[in-house]
Structure 1
Amino acid sequence: MIELEALTKRYGEKVAVNNLTFTVRPGIVTGFLGPNGAGKSTTMRMVLGLDRPTMGEVRIDGKRYDQLKDPLTYIGALLDAKAVHGGRSAYHHLLCLAQSNGIPKSRVAEVLDAVGLTAVARKKAKGFSYGMGQRLGIAGALLGDPRILMFDEPVNGLDPEGIHWIRTLMKSLAAQGRTVFVSSHLMSEMAVTADHLVVIGQGRLLADTSMADFIERNSRSYVRIRTPQRERLLDVLCEAGITAVDADGGALEVDGGKPEWIGDLAAQHQVVLHELSPRQASLEEAFMRLTAESVEYHAHTGAVPVPDEALTASARQAWGSDWKKGA
């Protein structure tokens, strides 16, 4: 279990993490979401004692990280796939970690096999692709057979097979009763992996709830209807006090409606339906709605301005005197 209590981190006048209090519980995959600059990585670094909190504290199974003996046997983490000495082989990188944490040498071969790196175990890490580096980082996290696992963007650089593998791995670890805490910007992946969500924005806690509850509270639910008797159905719905709006493909949408009610109503008035389906916004839409006021960096659509100094000589010549006038 990971417990954060009033956790705060300031860098000068900048408040990166602001009074965070939440608990990451065992037996489920907890997703950690937030826009860029929200404070996710800083929070994870404080969990591992890599950054010192300005205020508050983090406890791992009731202890601070610096109080843990052989910490890799308590918590395993992947924060940066490139945090490996490039001159070491995958085997020797893991062997160094094992020896410094009292972990049997035999465990190195086991985790290399688990992440699919046995064939390149003796190759130097500097020759690894990003995806291979991710697998090596995950092997390091698993090395001490810890009860708590923490992953920051674990699917970066992985191919579809690798993404499916890490998803299955995280679910199986949680099913074993372990604590699994994972940060990712891939909402589609998080939607099928996480059971619980912790969402932060500008360092503050925005949500700490189940995946289903998060989507229900922060997204639009509606019923989509298609019928060859569109005008007739609109009249029937209007008489029943139900408002329908136009949707793509000639369909209609009813916000918050019950498909059973609409189906019964259509049947009573002999209106033929070709589609009657409940819909709910995705995790991504729910996340965007909740964090809209907390996004620190906004991109703007439209043409990208080209500075004068970026113009090529041929372009300047083509523009002639008009370029010099700024026309």
Structure 2
Amino acid sequence: MIEVEGLTKDYGDVRAVDRLTFTVRPGVVTGFLGPNGAGKSTTMRMMLGLDHPTGGTVRIDGRHYRQLHDPLKTVGALLDAKAVHGGRSARNHLLCLAQSNGIPRARVAEVLDTVGLASVARKRTKGFSLGMGQRLGIAAALLGDPQILMFDEPVNGLDPEGIHWIRNLMKDLAAQGRTVFVSSHLMSEMALTAEHLIVIGQGKLLADTSMTGFIRENSRSYVRMRSPDHERLREVLHGAGIDHVPAGDGVLEVEGEDAAHLGELAARHQIVLHELSSQSASLEEAFMRLTAQAVEYHAHENHRAAVPGAAPRPDAWGADWRRKGS
């Protein structure tokens, strides 16, 4: 279990993390979300003792990270897969970590096989692709067979097979009763992997809830209805006291009603329906809605691709990025 209480980090006059309090519990994959600059990486670094907090505490199974005797046996982490000596082989990189943490040499071969790098174990890591480097970083996190695992952008550089593999690995680790904490910008992957979400913006906690609860609380759900007898359908809904909104092409959107109830209502009035479907937001849509006011940098929308010889429009290229509020 990871317990974060009042965690704060200041860099001069800038507050990167602002009194965060949350708990990451075992048995589920907990997603850690936030816009760029929200403070996710800083928070994870403080969890691992790499940055010293200005205030607050982080406890790993009841202890501060610096109090762990063999840290890799308690918590495994992937923060920066590139943090590897390029002249060492994958095997020797892991062997150094194992020896410094009292981990048997046999475990090195086991994790290399787990992540699919057994065939390149003796190759120097400077020749590894981005995806291979990610797999080696994941192997290092698994090396001590820890009960707590932290991953920052674990699918970065992985091919579709690799993404499917790491997704199932994280679910399996959580199913074993381990604590799994993962940060990612890929909403589609997070929606398939995480069961619980911690969302921050501008260093502050925005949400600490289940995946289903987060989407429900931060999205609009409605039922789409489409009929060739569009006007009569509107009259029936109006007569039943059901609010509806036209959405073009004969589609009506109805909030607060069950699709089955609406279908039965149409059937009683012998109205043909070409569409009757429940609509709910994706994780990405819910995330965008919640964090809209916490996004630090916004890209211009009214721009055109940079084409050689084409002059940029003054209104489009005044600045590529604008700090929120400037």
- Output the TM-score relative to the length of structure 1: 0.92
Aligned to 1:286: 286
SS in 1 for 2:182: strand
Looking at structure 2, the residues matched to 88 and 10 of structure 1 have their Cα atoms a distance apart, in angstroms, of: 36
Deviations 1:118-163 (A, max 9, x none): 0110011110010000000000000000000000000010111000
Aligned to 1:88: 88
Q: Does 1:215 align with 2:219?
A: no
Judging changes above 3 Å, is the alpha-carbon distance between structure 1 residues 145 and 297 closer, same or farther for their aligned structure 2 residues? same
Deviations 1:264-321 (A, max 9, x none): 2111111112221111000000000000010000111123699xxxx97x99xxxxxx
Letter aligned with residue 58 of structure 1: V
Aligned to 2:320: none
Looking at structure 2, the residues matched to 125 and 246 of structure 1 have their Cα atoms a distance apart, in angstroms, of: 58
Aligned to 1:188: 188
Q: Does 1:147 align with 2:141?
A: no
Judging changes above 3 Å, is the alpha-carbon distance between structure 1 residues 305 and 110 closer, same or farther for their aligned structure 2 residues? closer
Aligned to 2:105: 105
Q: How does 1:92-171 map to 2 (within 5 A)?
A: 92-171=92-171
Aligned to 1:71: 71
Looking at structure 1, the residues matched to 132 and 263 of structure 2 have their Cα atoms a distance apart, in angstroms, of: 52
Please state how far the C-alpha of 1:240 moved relative to its aligned partner. 1.4
Q: How does 1:225-236 map to 2 (within 5 A)?
A: 225-236=225-236
- Structure 2 stretches of 5 or more lacking a match? 312-326
Aligned to 1:322: none
Aligned to 1:45: 45
Looking at structure 2, the residues matched to 53 and 211 of structure 1 have their Cα atoms a distance apart, in angstroms, of: 29
Deviates more, 1:107-116 or 1:293-302: 293-302
Letter aligned with residue 108 of structure 2: V
Letter aligned with residue 78 of structure 2: L
Which structure's residues are more often helix, by fraction? 1
Please state how far the C-alpha of 1:210 moved relative to its aligned partner. 0.3
Please state how far the C-alpha of 1:165 moved relative to its aligned partner. 0.2
Please state how far the C-alpha of 1:97 moved relative to its aligned partner. 0.3
Aligned to 1:323: none
Aligned to 2:242: 242
Please state how far the C-alpha of 1:249 moved relative to its aligned partner. 4.7
Looking at structure 2, the residues matched to 77 and 137 of structure 1 have their Cα atoms a distance apart, in angstroms, of: 8
- Structure 1 stretches of 5 or more lacking a match? 316-327
Please state how far the C-alpha of 1:258 moved relative to its aligned partner. 1.3
Please state how far the C-alpha of 1:263 moved relative to its aligned partner. 1.3
Judging changes above 3 Å, is the alpha-carbon distance between structure 1 residues 304 and 270 closer, same or farther for their aligned structure 2 residues? closer
Looking at structure 1, the residues matched to 303 and 277 of structure 2 have their Cα atoms a distance apart, in angstroms, of: 39
Looking at structure 1, the residues matched to 248 and 110 of structure 2 have their Cα atoms a distance apart, in angstroms, of: 53
Looking at structure 2, the residues matched to 186 and 224 of structure 1 have their Cα atoms a distance apart, in angstroms, of: 28
SS in 1 for 2:169: helix
Deviates more, 1:51-60 or 1:249-258: 249-258
Percentage identity across aligned positions? 74
SS in 2 for 1:225: strand
Letter aligned with residue 125 of structure 2: A
Residues matched between the structures, number: 311
SS in 1 for 2:36: coil
Letter aligned with residue 105 of structure 1: R
Deviates more, 1:31-40 or 1:276-285: 276-285
Looking at structure 1, the residues matched to 160 and 257 of structure 2 have their Cα atoms a distance apart, in angstroms, of: 37
Q: Does 1:275 align with 2:275?
A: yes
Looking at structure 2, the residues matched to 61 and 162 of structure 1 have their Cα atoms a distance apart, in angstroms, of: 30
Looking at structure 2, the residues matched to 128 and 248 of structure 1 have their Cα atoms a distance apart, in angstroms, of: 52
Looking at structure 1, the residues matched to 142 and 89 of structure 2 have their Cα atoms a distance apart, in angstroms, of: 18
Judging changes above 3 Å, is the alpha-carbon distance between structure 1 residues 225 and 64 closer, same or farther for their aligned structure 2 residues? same
SS in 1 for 2:35: coil
Aligned to 2:56: 56
Letter aligned with residue 276 of structure 1: L
Letter aligned with residue 77 of structure 1: A
Looking at structure 1, the residues matched to 249 and 229 of structure 2 have their Cα atoms a distance apart, in angstroms, of: 14
SS in 2 for 1:293: coil
Question: C-alpha root-mean-square deviation of aligned residues, in Å?
Answer: 1.8
